[in-house]
Amino acid sequence: MPLFLKKELEDDARIYVWEITETEEELLASTAVPDNELEELSYTRSEARRKEKLAERALLNTIFFPDKLYLGHHDNGKPYLQNTAIEISISHTNRFVAILLSPDENLGIDIESLDRDFSAVEKKALSEDELDDLEDDKRKTLQLAIYWCAKEAIYKRMSISGVDFAEQIEVERFTPRDEGKIDATFYHKDGTEMEFELSYEVFENHVMVWVVD
């Protein structure tokens, strides 16, 4: 389908979301895919993953039409646009592809389905203070999803390997709503700290969190 959501942010940053309603065949037939991405797809065994990558390409083509933008990845997996200085962050679920762009700011975005089992997040990715702040009601799944997406968004923004989500990314207490802002701190292993303000939005049983700074 066409673009599902577009958000204009401060400092010319933008979010685009594509809903994956097409079959793999429909995406291939309607999307101009660079040869290197087609080759990568040929080695991808998961149909769901192939559809995500094709929808990602369809969204990039829609955003930058009529220009052709080529996507690359650094050794740590972070995406970049090869023929422009625009910063990019990408996230997928089976249903949506989200792309965050900024002309000159560091950024990160994550999107997750609320149907996901977040029990592992509670056990491995939260600090003791964050565990103490968890709600004990039906909002707990939403709260865990926001925690996880926030930490993933910061991880993508930092682009550092070997990050301990429980020890190095601390999200301040918040009350989960349909949309809002949350504060978080990243603790470098050398003892220095960086503070962030993130935004989040809940739609179609999904949570999306992003950071631009």
Contact, 3 vs 59, CB < 8 A? yes
How far, in Å, CA of 108 to CA of 201, rounded?
14
Length of the chain (residues):
213
Same structural domain, 125 and 68: no
Residue 200 and residue 156 share a domain: yes
- Give the residue carrying structure tokens 């023929």: 83
Q: In which domain, by residue range, is 137 found?
A: 111-212
Domain identity same for 193 and 135:
yes
Counting beta carbons within 10 angstroms of the beta carbon of residue 62, is it exposed (0 to 12), middle (13 to 18) or buried (19 or more)? middle
Indicate if 43 and 117 belong to the same structural domain: no
Residue after which a domain boundary falls, among 88, 104, 120: 104
What pLDDT does residue 173 have? 95
pLDDT at 88: 98
Same domain flag for 140 and 91: no
What pLDDT score was predicted for residue 139? 85
Residue 19: Cβ within 10 Å count: 15
Residues 99 and 32 grouped into a single domain: yes
- pLDDT for 138: 75
Is the same domain home to 123 and 94? no
Please count the other Cβ atoms lying within 10 Å of the Cβ belonging to residue 117. Answer: 8
d(CA 207, CA 66): 31
The pLDDT assigned to 77 comes to: 86
CB contact at 8 A, 153 and 209 = yes
Which CATH number do you get for residue 165? 3.90.470.20
The whole-number pLDDT of residue 89 equals 98
Which tokens go with 16?
């685009």
What is the pLDDT at residue 172? Answer: 97
Same domain, 42 and 96: yes
Same domain, residue pair 18 and 94: yes
Residue-by-residue pLDDT tens, the chain, 213 positions: 579 999 999 989 999 999 999 999 999 999 999 999 999 999 999 999 999 999 999 999 999 999 989 999 998 889 999 989 999 999 999 999 999 999 989 999 999 999 999 989 999 999 999 999 998 777 899 999 999 999 999 999 999 999 999 999 999 999 999 999 999 999 999 999 999 999 999 999 999 999 999
